[in-house]
Amino acid sequence: MRKTLAIALMLTASLGLAACDKKSEDKAQDANQNAEQAQQKMNEAQDKVNDAAKENAEAAKDQAESNAEAAKEAAPAAPATPAAPEAPKN
C-alpha cells in the first residue's frame, strides 16, 4: 500500500511540475516576442529621429543659402575694375 501511495504521489508531483514547466516556457516565449517587438519599435523610432535630423540639416542648408543670396542682394555693387593703389608720397 505504501509503495502504491508513493508512486501515485510521485506521478502527481511530476505531472504538476510538468504543467508548471510549460507555463514558464510560454512566459519565456512571450517575453522574447515582447523584446523583439520592443526592438522593432526602437528601430522605427531611431529611423524617425534620423529622418528628422536629415530634414533639419537640409532646412539649415537652405536657410544658409537663402541668407547668402540675401546678403549678395543687399551688398552694394562692386566696381567693375579695382582702383589702382596710390603711390606713396615722399
30-46 pLDDT, tens per residue? 899 999 999 999 999 99
pTM of the complete model: 0.50
CA atoms of 38 and 43, how far apart (whole Å): 9
* CA–CA gap between residue 28 and residue 21 (Å, rounded): 11
What is the separation of C-alpha 27 from the centre of its chain, rounded to a whole number of angstroms?
28
Confidence band for 62, pLDDT divided at 50, 70 and 90: very high
How far is Cα 69 from Cα 75, in angstroms, rounded to an integer? 10
Give the per-residue pLDDT at 20.
64
Q: Which three cell numbers stand for residue 73?
A: 542682394
